[in-house]
Amino acid sequence: MNTFKNLAASLCALLLLSSCSPKDRQFEAKAFPKQTQSQGLLNLPQTSLELQGRCNSAIQTTQSQLDGLTASSRSKNRLVSLDTILGDFDDAVQPLIFMAYVSTESELRDAGSNCEAEVNKFKVAIYSRRDLYNVVASSTPMFPEEGRLREVLMTMFEKNGMKLDDDTLAKVQDLKQQLTQLETEFSKNLNEDVSRLAFSESELAGVPEAVLKFLPRDQDGKVVLTTKSTDYVMIMTQAKDSETRRRMQSAYLNRAPANTKLLEKAIGIRQQIAKALNFSSWVGYRIKGNMADTPERVMNFLEDLQTRLKPRLKNDLDRLLVQKQAEHPEAKSLDAWDIDYYSNQIKKTEYALDNELIKQYFPRDQVLERIYSIYSEMLGIEFVEVSNPEVWHSDVKLYAIYNQNHRHDSPIAYFYADLSPRDGKYGHAAAFPLIAGRRLGQAYSTPVAAIVANFTAATADRPSLLTHGEVETYFHELGHILHQVLTRAPFATLSGTNVAQDFVEAPSQMLENWAWDEDELMYISGHYQNPSEKLPKAIIKKMVESKMFNIGYQYSRQLTFALTDMTIHSASGAVDSKQAFDRTHLKVMTYEAPTDNHFMASFGHMMGGYDAGYYGYLWSEVYAADMFTQFVKLGLDAKSVGQEYRKIILESGNSEDALSLLRKFLGRDPNSDAFLTGIGIQ
């Protein structure tokens, strides 16, 4: 998930049908040399006062520029000038807002959150201005790309009420200002949550001793854990004690409890906005203009998938219950905190998969560099680590990206990698666009983005080791980064991942397939004590076989989130978000959610841009699977396909609608065949 905006994908390099098998690759550290750069790309603020001052200045400057644009008709192309002003504004404020998610200083995080709230309010005001709307409406595009810019901007303005009377428009503007404040406060509460739990060593039986000995302790000698994803997954998959898992899940599902009221208030405001804009619901308002286009198409898609998945879900849950009964013969049912634990036990026994063993073959730094190598080959690019960059934490790295064999030229992009957990930091994995790619006169700007994740930190006796799930996550998030920074879209409004919300995940979802290919896994793996020792092929084979394990459960869980989102945002009147989640969970999953859960308070997507849009993860996966068929035909390392993928999907941004781009890349209309086959449904 990307909290500012959206995200998406990447891949290959060079000529025709030539290919280079991963089995023949020779990894060399010198392939990733460092370059020296003493000055920061983002000019990071050093104090909260500086951050707020720069934020206010950017708003004031932009306000003045917009007023000047509407006051004069002399501008040769006011449509393009408007995009330039908006792009300059985003480039100025996005790095400031980013501090709310990553800064080590609470004052800077607070200032970043305040800036985000002010920026969001300002943007509501921008897209509610009739004079700016008239600039767009009266423009005469000179080129097709300007026509696309006009089309997208017209939609943005009209969805903000340009066809309303003045009184109703003012009301909508006020409601949207209130909404942005609630969304910012929700995200801040979640980022700042510092929930802790303490367990005795006996309560943590099942957690490897090699991990336990490095965990922090309280004054009573108990192990202290956070509710960050790393600690949460460790306990839920490995702790034998049911009560330990229950306590951890309860803490995880009750983070930032004040957020429930914020969400429900936001839902009420969204209802009012939709009604004022003549939509039957917030769902109808948000989906208009997406690939799905109507709520009916979304619901048909979700309900059909639920029906198809029911038999697979039942089989998955029955299998987990049998595993539980092997330990507890008296058990009659599963508890919600049993699922991950017994899933892990089955992987160990039936698939002979031990996550702790597998992690030893995925030392983080080596895996990342080899993922960079895969993308370099495929997309015709080169990654170079920057020495001594200006960063917000000493763990953060900066990479320059070049076109392959063009190191003598300037970098075409940069991205930061902030991958270790710490207090106050964004708690999941996301890609954040910071500086947009766009045409500036005769030149093209250098895009900048950042990956934020929370992988297990290194210890005194071993480096950071990734689970296979984290390896897959990095393929995905780096895909979003490359969608953002390899863009060649001419305008900021159309740049990078500013595409239809229900397509934004597709390019990066497609790249997750590389994390399941035997050759690629052999290439990126290497035991942390002996890098030449690869992940055994027998384990890889079992990993691939296990991909279908629990697939009914996994997709049903995604359906639960998507259908809950559709339920709360299709309602009229007051909404009990907990009740909506619990009812949907029971209907889809067929067992009750934990009674003490307040999951919706930590469901950041609902207040981070995916409201009435969570279905997009499943919707876009259909297109991701279809795009992957092009690589399957010629091989995952087929450079010709990678170059087409870079040119058509990654570089285009929103210069054309997503369906047109898919048709160009596939050479046909997209379909759902590959997606359904991939999840075992005929």
- Residue 229's pLDDT band, with cuts at 50, 70 and 90, is confident
pLDDT of 437 higher than 50: yes
Beta strands in 288-438 (DSSP E): 381-387, 397-403, 413-418, 430-435
DSSP run (H or E) holding 226: strand 223-226
β-pair partners for 313: none
Greater confidence (480 vs 192) lies with 480
Residue 586's pLDDT band (boundaries 50, 70, 90)? very high
User: 396 and 162 in contact (C-beta within 8 Å)?
Assistant: no
- Mean pLDDT for 523-536 is 96
For residue 367, the one-letter residue type is V
Q: Does residue 271 lie within any of the structural domains?
A: no
Q: Do the beta carbons of residue 658 and residue 499 sit within 8 Å?
A: yes
Same domain, 143 and 27: no
pLDDT digits (tens, 9 = 90+) for 350-379: 998 998 999 999 999 999 999 999 999 999
Report d(CA 668, CA 645) in Å as an integer: 15
Confidence of residue 591 (pLDDT cuts 50, 70, 90): very high
Q: Distance between alpha carbon 567 and the CA centroid of its chain, in Å?
A: 23
Contact predicate 454/429, CB 8 Å: yes
Domain range spanning residue 232? 194-252
Cβ burial of 201 (10 Å; 0-12, 13-18, 19+) is middle
Within the chain, what is the greatest distance between any pair of CA atoms? Answer: 82
Q: Looking at the predicted structure, is the pLDDT value of residue 9 above 80? A: no
CB 556 within 8 A of CB 590: no
pLDDT of residue 30: 38
Residues 28 and 62 reside in one and the same domain: no
d(CA 242, CA 137): 62
Cα gap 531→28, rounded to integer Å: 12
> Does a structural domain hold residue 656?
no
Residue 329 within a domain: no
Statement to judge: residues 121 and 207 lie in one domain = no
Instruction: Give the whole-angstrom CA distance, residue 49 versus residue 65.
Output: 24
Please report whether residue 530 resides in a domain. yes
User: Are 477 and 508 contacting, i.e. CB atoms less than 8 angstroms apart?
Assistant: yes
* The pLDDT of residue 41: 87
Q: Residue 315 contacts by C-beta under 8 Å, 6 or more apart in sequence?
A: 552
Same-domain check for residues 105 and 216: no
More confident residue, 383 or 681: 383
**Is the Cβ–Cβ distance between 79 and 136 less than 8 Å?**
yes
DSSP state of 535: P
pLDDT level of residue 405 (50, 70, 90 thresholds): confident
Mean local confidence (pLDDT), 257-264 = 96
Are the beta carbons of 7 and 480 closer than 8 angstroms?
Answer: yes
Q: Which of 515, 534, 553 is the last residue of a domain?
A: 534
For residue 320, the SS3 value is helix
Let me know whether 211 and 155 are in one domain: no
Name residue 382's beta-bridge partners: 402
d(CA 616, CA 623) in angstroms, rounded, equals 11
Residue 323: pLDDT band (50, 70, 90) is very high
Residue in the structure block whose two tokens are 């969304």? 183
- Out of 534, 549, 581, a domain closes at 534
The CATH number of the domain where 453 resides is what?
A: 3.40.390.10
How many domains does the chain fold into? Answer: 3
Distance of CA 518 to the CA centre of its chain: 25
In a domain, residue 186? The reply is no
Residues 34, 56, single domain; the answer is no
Instruction: For residue 332, give every residue at least 6 positions away whose Cβ sits within 8 Å of its Cβ, in sequence order, or none.
Output: none
What's the pLDDT at 459?
87
Domain of residue 88, CATH code: 1.20.1050.40
Burial (CB < 10 A; 0-12, 13-18, 19+), residue 79, is buried
Determine, yes or no, domain membership for 208.
Answer: yes
Reported as type and span, the H/E element at residue 36 is strand 34-36
Let me know: does 115 contact 97? Beta carbons within 8 Å: yes
Which residue of the set 146, 203, 382, 477 is catalytic? 477
Q: Check if 303 is active-site.
A: no
Per-residue pLDDT, 623: 97
Q: Residue 479, exposed/middle/buried by CB under 10 A (0-12, 13-18, 19+)?
A: buried
Specify whether the backbone of 176 is left (phi greater than 0), alpha (psi in -120 to 50) or beta: alpha
3-state secondary structure of 84: helix
3-state SS, residue 371? helix
Q: Mean pLDDT, to the nearest integer, of 631-646?
A: 92
DSSP per-residue string spanning 436-450: ---EETTEE---EEE
CA 5 to chain centre: 9
Question: In terms of domains, do 377 and 456 share one?
Answer: yes
Average confidence score pLDDT of the chain: 91
Please check whether residue 324 lies inside any domain of the structure: no
Identify the top-confidence range among 29-43, 182-196, 230-244. 230-244
Helix, strand, coil abundance in the chain, percent, nearest 5 = 55, 5, 35
Please state the pTM of the whole predicted model. Answer: 0.87
Whether 451 contacts 481, CB under 8 Å: yes
What is the predicted pLDDT for the residue at 38? 39
Residues 405 and 417: their CA atoms lie apart, in Å, by 24
Helix residue spans in 105-258 (DSSP H): 106-126, 130-137, 144-158, 166-192, 209-212, 229-238, 242-252
CA distance linking residue 486 with residue 9, whole number of Å: 10
Residues 514 and 439 in one domain: yes
Q: Is 140 exposed, middle or buried (0-12, 13-18, 19+ CB in 10 A)?
A: exposed
**End residue of a domain, out of 534, 553, 574:** 534
Per-residue pLDDT reduced to its tens digit, 66-111? 999 999 876 678 999 999 999 999 999 999 999 999 999 999 999 9
Pair of tokens at residue 588 = 């889809």
Q: Is the pLDDT assigned to residue 34 strictly greater than 70?
A: no
**Is there a single domain that holds both residue 419 and residue 505?**
yes
For residues 74 and 138, state if they share a domain: yes
Flag whether 558 is in a domain: no
CB 389 within 8 A of CB 37: yes
pLDDT tens for 462-514 read: 999 999 999 999 999 999 999 999 999 999 999 999 999 999 999 999 999 99
How far apart, in whole angstroms, are the C-alpha atoms of residue 510 and residue 622? 10
Residue 667: HSE in the Cβ half-sphere, 13 Å Cα cutoff: 4
Q: b vs e for 82-116, b when ≥16 Cβ sit within 10 Å of the residue's Cβ?
A: bbbbbbbbbbbbbbbbbbbbbbebeebbbbbbbbb
- What DSSP character marks residue 594? P
Query: What is residue 70's predicted lDDT score, i.e. its pLDDT?
Result: 94
Q: Where are the alpha helices (DSSP H) in 240-327?
A: 242-252, 259-276, 282-287, 295-327
Distance CA 422, CA 88 (A): 31
pLDDT-based confidence at residue 33 (cuts at 50, 70, 90): low
Cα–Cα distance measured from residue 124 to residue 64, given in angstroms and rounded to the nearest whole number: 16
* Mean pLDDT of the 114-132 span: 95
Tokens linked to 528: 């942390």
Whether residue 508 contacts residue 8, with contact meaning beta carbons closer than 8 Å, is answered with yes
367 with 484, same domain: the answer is yes
3 state DSSP class of 238: helix
Answer yes or no: do 60 and 203 share one domain. Answer: no
Q: pLDDT > 90: what percent of the chain?
A: 85
